[in-house]
Structure 1
Amino acid sequence: MHARPEPAYIAFDGARRIAAGDLRDVARAAKQTLDRHKDASILIFDGTTSGPIDLDFRGPVDDVLARLPDAEASRDDGAVAPRGPGRPKLGVVAREITLLPRHWDWLAQQKGGASVAIRKLVDEARRGGADRDRTRLAQQAAYRFMSAMADNKPHYEDAIRALFANDAGRFEASIAEWPADVRDHAEKLAERAFHRQA
């Protein structure tokens, strides 16, 4: 398997891939497919997580596109967020955590206090588990997609077992008979799970 660039979103009509790219392009292609084939079975996925994307396809294409979520607008809608604890200009956000008294006691004794100690612990855990986390997230994305698109395909259970056992050869053999577009996207998602850092 060779690395390929990942689309932000991908749409299928049944087992046939109809679009991949940004959400506007994918939504437009999905709506056009629905307009041509009223019985189309459209599924749209986030290209990274394989989370399902639900869109409202009522009305003409322009209406569908107008209802798409706009990440930039929702982030910068002009409203001023209430100021609370933390250092927002540095990206520090105050949130609640719950610990046992012995944890609070230990944190209070650390140089720089509880916040500094917790940040150091989190950074250390992120560095130490980055490859493991990447593999886990890739497995989850592949599993989500395969569960939605291939749970009735031949050797589905074998493919899932191979994915989580990190057995790329058995995975490829298990999905060999699947429809080409579903198989290709499942392989692309699984590449990240099977990838090994040098």
Structure 2
Amino acid sequence: MSEPTYTALVDDHLLFHGTLPALLHSLKAHEDHHASMPVIFEDHTGLHIDFDLRGTLDEVLSRYTPTPESTERPKASASTREITLLPRHWSWLDEHGSASATLRRLVDTARLSNIEKQTATRATEAARHFITAMAGNRPQYEEALRALYASNEDSFTNQTRTWPKAIRDTALRLATPAFTFHAQNHAQKPA
């Protein structure tokens, strides 16, 4: 899994987008020179998050960044289990080569499909959280929300066009995995 990213906005303008250590550096630098407080969102969930910036940069970093974990790779091992299938299932597996390899491919395909669907659902919810917080009182908010849940990227883009650029761009960035997933699945369905 990739490292979590964050978005910080000040007065509807993008201050920062990136990883936690870089965010904390940016927040401390901003705090030292500006009175305005950034609004920070965790990109994975779209939820507002606050950080305690008291102390030096090193103190802030030690408070929020985890200690490095062991770089030792886990040992890969296969386990043997018994499965029971009907004769027609065994026949089908035999037609497709090694039963074990075929079962592994089927499980991996199902897992990936489920992971992609979960990613799309998470992206929709993250975008919803973000736009509710940052654009809930803006024109076309409800229409944009409907477009988000309908996975209609063109309508979503159209509904958000009058919003400040940083809010519009962040909302679209958070929603893009959902739009992509639904566009790919719609294209794969037979007409």
User: In 1, Cα distance between the equivalents of 2:113 and 2:34?
Assistant: 50
Instruction: Find 1:139's aligned residue among 124, 134, 152.
Output: 124
Corresponding residue SS for 2:49: coil
Instruction: Find 1:180's aligned residue among 165, 179, 185.
Output: 165
Instruction: Return the offset for 1:162.
Output: 0.5
Instruction: Return the offset for 1:51.
Output: 3.6
Could you tell me which amino acid in structure 2 is paired with residue 182 of structure 1?
I
1:128–1:181 Cα change, 3 Å: closer
The corresponding residue for 1:170 is 155
User: In 1, Cα distance between the equivalents of 2:159 and 2:15?
Assistant: 24
User: In 2, Cα distance between the equivalents of 1:23 and 1:176?
Assistant: 29
How many correspondences in the alignment?
160
> Are 2:13 and 1:16 equivalent residues in the alignment?
yes
1:49–1:182 Cα change, 3 Å: same
Scaled by the length of structure 2, the TM-score of the pair is 0.67
Instruction: Return the offset for 1:66.
Output: 2.7
Instruction: Return the offset for 1:139.
Output: 0.6
1:120-179 deviations in Å (ceiling 9; x for gaps): 998675345344323212111211211222112211111111000111121111111111
Q: Which runs of 5+ in 2 are unaligned?
A: 85-103
Could you tell me which amino acid in structure 2 is paired with residue 167 of structure 1?
N
8 Å contact from structure 2 (residues 21, 65) kept in 1? no
User: In 2, Cα distance between the equivalents of 1:148 and 1:129?
Assistant: 29
> Are 2:14 and 1:29 equivalent residues in the alignment?
no
8 Å contact from structure 1 (residues 7, 20) kept in 2? no
Could you tell me which amino acid in structure 1 is paired with residue 62 of structure 2?
A
1:21–1:161 Cα change, 3 Å: same
Could you tell me which amino acid in structure 2 is paired with residue 20 of structure 1?
H
Could you tell me which amino acid in structure 2 is paired with residue 52 of structure 1?
H
Cα RMSD (Å): 3.4
1:27-66 deviations in Å (ceiling 9; x for gaps): 121122223222x232222333324333111123333223
The corresponding residue for 1:106 is none
8 Å contact from structure 2 (residues 44, 122) kept in 1? no
The corresponding residue for 1:152 is 137
